[in-house]
Structure 1
Amino acid sequence: GAGEAMIEPELYSWDLAAPSIIVEEAGGRVTDLEGRRTYAGGNALATNGLLHAAILKRLNQA
C-alpha cells in the first residue's frame, strides 16, 4: 500500500535509520516532531515531502 505520512511517537535509532534513507531517496522527508532531521530515535514524522511542513505546523499548534 501507499501512505502520505506516518507519525511515530517512540522509536529507537535502529527503527529509524534504514527507513529514513529509503524515504529520503524516494523524495520524502523524515524529521522528529519538532522538524529536526535526526536518526537518533525518539519520535518521527515521515511524509512524501509535500505535506511535511503542514503536518508539523498542525502538530505543533498546541
Structure 2
Amino acid sequence: EPEVKLWDLAPLDILVREAGGRFTDLHAGLGPHGGSAVATNGLLHDAVLAAFAD
C-alpha cells in the first residue's frame, strides 16, 4: 500500500515476533524502518527475503 506510514506497521513488529515469526525490511533490517516490510512465520523468512532479492 503506497500510503503506509511507520506507525501503521510498528505494532506488527511485536505482534509477529511474540507469535514466533519474523518481521524485517527487505534487507533483513529489524522492523519496517527501511521503507519495506516482510512478515513470515520465521521458518520461511530467509527464503522469502531471497525470493525478493532475485
The normalised TM-score by structure 2 is 0.82
- Name the structure, 1 or 2, with higher relative contact order (CA <8 Å, separation 6+): 1
* Match among 40, 48, 59 for residue 41 of structure 2: 48
Give 1:12-51 correspondences, 5 Å limit. 12-40=5-33, 42-51=35-44
Cα distance change, pair 10–52 in 1 and its aligned pair in 2 (3 A): farther
State the Cα distance separating 1:56 from its structure 2 match: 0.4
More strand by share: 1
CA RMSD of aligned residues (A): 2.1
d(CA) in 2 for partners of 1:29 and 1:58?
Answer: 16
Aligned residue pairs, count: 54
Is there any run of 5+ residues in structure 1 with no aligned partner, and where? 1-7
State the Cα distance separating 1:14 from its structure 2 match: 0.7
| Displaced runs of 4 or more, over 6 A | none
d(CA) in 2 for partners of 1:33 and 1:24?
Answer: 16
The normalised TM-score by structure 1 is 0.73
